[in-house]
Amino acid sequence: MATEMRGEAAAKDEGKGKSAPRRTTPALFVRQVIAELRKVIWPTRRELVTYTTVSLVFVLIMVAIVSGFDYGLQKGIYEIFG
């Protein structure tokens, strides 16, 4: 079970009653967001263009596949009922 895999610190805190969590101030929140954004590895322009191109090509291929199925089913239904 997952609780058996936890470290000692987590096991010690499980039995204790916890008070209500403290609210984060907006200033602290903004500082934390900025700190997390600094950890992000931003893609280079070349990587960004590559990722965008791959995504667009994938979407276009999927649109073509779905359109082909739709067209085929439409023609089939018109032949059967039409």
Spatial separation of the C-alpha atoms in residues 4 and 55, rounded to whole Å: 41
pLDDT at residue 37, rounded to an integer: 95
The CA dihedral of 16, 18, 24, 30, to the nearest 10 degrees, is: 30
Question: Which residue bears the tokens 């893609």?
Answer: 43
Spatial separation of the C-alpha atoms in residues 76 and 82, rounded to whole Å: 9
Q: Which portions of the chain are predicted below pLDDT 50?
A: none
pTM of the model: 0.55
DSSP structure class, residue 7: -
